[in-house]
Amino acid sequence: QVQLVESGGGLVQAGGSLRLSCAASGSIFRINNMGWYRQGLGKQRELVAVITNGGTPNYADSVKGRFTISRDNAKNTVYLQMNSLKSDDTAVYYCMAILQRSGTYYATDYWGQGTQVTVSS
């Protein structure tokens, strides 16, 4: 069993900040990429940011310069620091990890349950 548990969502005013965390647990052999996606009401799920096992980040254009993704490999945890939040950032944010379970020879993607971020204008 593998679980990804997110925390840190909530309600914030425009211009404010939030920090999301996502911890992976269970029978994990190795975690490759970790990342954050989001889905606004009536919209498709979209990539926000992803980070490799070596710490190389990539961001959606819409969040560049405002969001920072990081990870702690010792804790199997990925973070998303969100600054200068806008109403357009309102969405459910999902954590994703591409990982290899112990005793297997392949990696696959796992998802968290999602955490709501609401930015009021």
Measured between alpha carbons, how far is 38 from 76 in angstroms, rounded to an integer?
20
Q: Give the whole-number percent of the chain exceeding pLDDT 70.
A: 100
pLDDT tens-digit profile of 38-93? 999 999 999 999 999 999 999 999 999 999 999 999 999 999 999 999 999 999 99
Q: What is the C-alpha separation between 22 and 3, in angstroms, rounded?
A: 10
Residue 15, pLDDT score: 98
